[in-house]
Every structure is written in structure tokens, then in C-alpha cells.
DNA sequence: TGCCAGGATGATG
DNA sequence: CATCATCATGGC
């Protein structure tokens, strides 16, 4: 029989937190607007509708008792963004970027989910990535009490073949998913261990996976491993660095470079830079 | 209808 | 080490 459990909890939302900016900026691919201002999505085995009204975050979790601890962590609600932004205000250019998305936050997604998502993201745009992730979960992931399907477990994916993944329509990325899954399943790739390695070593470890290069590795570190010093560099960000911050390297932004990157990237999307 | 997408790989200069 | 074609697919 269908489980219809839904529970709502309320949290006092921190300042500098906005759902639209955070959930629709290319960090995650399983959240959709409900049409009335809220967002619904699944992550880490949890399905919820999130609504931010005034200073209160309403979380309605489906199919299981609401678990605020998970969402606090996922949305990174306990981090003091005001303090981090104070540091960024020293740079007028960065301050300008921040004004375009003052409430954006770096999500803390499960590492495995981020790895799958950003393998699929390569040479694709967000609408198609969302479709790929959707088909990956619906086709191969376990059914959750909410009725949605979670990301497939590494062992599940590792047992499959490229032919089995054909309905995914992922192109050459299907082989990359399988390589990642097999490495995690056979223990040769330990995401928990990589998470606490010095970042240079973590980068190298992740790039052992076929289909994981500098950009994907950086996204996994930043969005899936809480490594806020990571700094994904795509073509837009490279251009932004050249035109807005000539001479600077990602490391120059400090231990929260990844958050700075998020402000800059959002700024670039809404305010395309002149092609030098 | 084509162009191109929050890239990575393997082969060449 | 820098450049370059190639990869499968489909939003727009």
C-alpha cells in the first residue's frame, strides 16, 4: 500500500539564503519549482518540498519522518555566510558579483550523487543533465517511501552493462558511469577517504576515474565533499578570471574560493561578459 | 535546422 | 606542455 506520510518542520532560515538562487544554478539537478514559489526534489534518500517564507524555511518531507538534520547539512544552513562575505567585500569586483545572487549557497550533496551528476554534466547543458539524472534514477535507482527513486547505488550500477544503460541516452558517458561505479563497488575508490585527503591528492584520486577530468573532479570536491577551497573552471569561469580578475588564481580567493566561484559564476550567467 | 552544451580523452606538434 | 579532433545526444 502506498505510504502517504508527510511531515512539515519549520526552521529559522539564516540570512543570505535563497532557494531560487541555490537550487537552480547548476549545482544540483533534481529540484524543480512547484509553481507556487516552493521547490521539490530528492537527495540522499529524502524527498521534500522546500518553501522559504519570510525568515522561515518550511520543509515538508514525504514518505518518512522529517529529518531536519539532513536538510540543514544539505543546504549548508549552519555556515556563517555573512562572515565569509565580509572577507570577499575587500575586493570590489567580487562584491559586485555577490550583489547578483546574495542568497546563493554551496550545497553539500552526497559525494556519490555529485560524482554521477557531474560525470553526466560534461559537454551538456542543464536541461539535458536534468533529464539524464532523472532517467538514471527512475531507471536504476531504489524506490523511496516518497514514491521517487534515489540515485542508484554503486553496486547496482556496477552490475550493469553499457547496453543496459542504453535507455539512459547518455552517449559515451555511460561507460564513465560504469567505471566510477565499479571502482567504488570494488573498494579501489573510497569516496569517504578521498574526502579528507589534502585537496591536491583528492583531485588526483578522483581523476583516476575515466571521464573525470579537472572540471568534474572540482565539482565533486566542491558540491559533494564540502571542500570549499575547490574552484571549478569551465570556459565561462576562465573568461571571467581573465577579464574580471586578471592575474588572480583560484587559490587567491582563500579557503572559501568555491563560494566566491559560485557568486562569480552566477554573475556571469546573468551578465554575460564581453568577449575579449 | 543547426549550433552547442558548467568536458575528457588520445593523438599530434 | 599546448592544441585539436572526436565522442552521443538532444534542448533551444
pLDDT beyond 70 at A246? yes
- pLDDT on residue A276: 45
pLDDT at site A119: 98
Nearest protein residue to nucleotide B6 (CA to C1' distance) is A234
State how far the Cα of A107 lies from the Cα of A75, in Å rounded to an integer.
5
* Percent above pLDDT 70 for chain A: 97
* Buried residues in A14-50 as b, exposed as e (16+ CB within 10 A): bebbebebbbebbbbbbbeeeeeebbbbbbbbbbbbb
- What Å value separates CA A166 and C1' C6? 20
Residue owning grid cell 573498494: A187
| A133 CB and strand C closer than 7 A | no
The owner of cell 566561484 is A261
Residue A250 pLDDT exceeds 80: yes
Q: Averaged over A12-16, what is the pLDDT?
A: 97
pTM value surpassing 0.95: yes
> Smallest Cα–C1' distance to nucleotide C6: which residue has it?
A172
| pLDDT at site A96 | 96
A32-46, A72-86, A161-175, A234-248, range with the lowest pLDDT = A234-248
User: What average pLDDT does range A216-238 have in this prediction?
Assistant: 97
Which helix (H) or strand (E) segment holds residue A20: the answer is helix A19-23
A215 is catalytic: yes
User: Would the Cβ of A205 be found within 7 angstroms of any atom in strand B?
Assistant: no
CA atoms within 13 A on the CB side of A182: 13
Residue A6 — very low, low, confident or very high, per pLDDT cuts 50/70/90? confident
CB-based burial label for A62 (10 Å; 0-12, 13-18, 19+):
buried
| Cell numbers found for residue A73 | 547539512
Taking the CA atoms of A257, A26, A29 and A9 in sequence, report the sign of the dihedral they define: positive
Asked whether the predicted pLDDT for residue A1 surpasses 90, the reply is: no
Mean pLDDT for chain A?
96
pLDDT digits (tens, 9 = 90+) for A18-41: 999 999 999 999 999 999 999 999
The active-site residue out of A64, A72, A215, A239 is: A215
pLDDT in tens, A68-123: 999 999 999 999 999 999 999 999 999 999 999 999 999 999 999 999 999 999 99
Strands A31-33 and A6-12: unpaired
| Alpha-carbon dihedral sign for residues A146, A150, A153, A157 | positive
Which nucleotide has the least CA–C1' distance to A216?
Answer: B7
Q: Where are the beta strands (DSSP E) in A136-245?
A: none
CB-CB neighbours of A208 under 10 Å: 14
* Mean pLDDT score, A44-70: 97
Is the Cβ atom of A26 within 7 Å of strand B at any atom?
Answer: yes
Q: What percent of chain A has pLDDT over 90?
A: 94
Distance A209 CA to B10 C1' (A): 16
Distance A244 CA to C7 C1' (A): 33
- Could you say which nucleotides of strand C lie within 7 A of any protein CB atom? 7-12
Question: Stated in angstroms, how far is A19 CA from C2 C1'?
Answer: 41
A33 CB-to-strand C distance under 7 Å: no
Distance of CA A219 to the CA centre of its chain: 8
Residue A135 pLDDT exceeds 50? yes
Whether nucleic acid strand C comes within 7 Å of the CB of A171, the answer is yes
Amino acid at each position: 500500500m502506498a505510504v502517504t506520510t508527510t511531515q512539515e518542520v519549520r526552521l529559522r532560515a539564516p540570512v543570505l539564503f535563497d532557494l531560487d538562487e541555490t537550487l537552480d544554478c547548476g549545482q544540483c539537478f533534481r529540484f524543480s519549482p512547484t509553481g507556487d514559489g516552493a521547490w521539490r526534489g530528492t537527495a540522499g534518500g529524502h524527498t521534500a518540498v522546500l518553501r522559504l517564507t519570510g525568515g522561515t524555511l518550511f520543509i515538508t518531507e514525504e514518505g518518512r519522518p522529517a529529518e531536519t538534520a539532513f536538510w540543514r547539512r544539505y543546504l549548508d544552513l549552519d555556515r556563517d555566510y555573512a562572515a565569509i562575505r565580509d572577507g570577499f567585500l575587500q575586493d570590489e569586483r567580487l562584491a559586485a558579483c555577490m550583489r547578483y545572487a546574495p542568497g546563493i549557497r554551496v550545497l553539500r550533496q552526497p559525494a556519490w550523487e555529485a560524482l554521477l551528476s557531474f560525470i553526466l554534466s560534461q559537454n551538456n547543458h542543464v536541461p539535458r543533465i536534468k533529464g539524464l539524472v532523472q532517467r538514471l534514477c527512475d531507471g536504476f535507482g531504489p524506490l523511496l517511501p516518497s514514491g521517487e527513486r534515489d540515485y542508484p547505488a554503486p553496486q547496482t550500477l556496477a552490475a550493469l552493462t553499457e547496453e543496459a544503460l542504453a535507455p539512459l541516452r547518455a552517449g559515451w558517458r555511460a561507460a564513465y558511469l560504469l567505471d566510477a561505479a565499479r571502482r567504488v563497488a570494488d573498494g579501489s575508490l573510497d569516496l569517504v577517504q578521498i574526502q579528507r585527503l589534502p585537496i591536491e591528492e583528492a583531485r588526483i584520486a578522483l581523476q583516476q576515474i575515466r571521464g573525470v577530468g579537472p572540471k568534474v573532479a572540482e565539482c565533486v570536491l566542491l558540491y559533494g565533499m564540502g571542500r570549499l577551497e575547490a574552484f571549478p573552471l569551465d570556459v565561462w569561469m576562465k573568461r571571467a578570471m581573465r577579464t574580471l580578475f586578471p592575474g588572480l588564481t583560484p587559490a587567491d580567493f582563500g579557503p572559501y574560493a568555491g563560494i566566491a566561484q559560485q557568486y562569480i559564476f552566477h554573475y556571469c550567467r546573468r551578465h554575460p561578459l564581453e568577449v575579449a
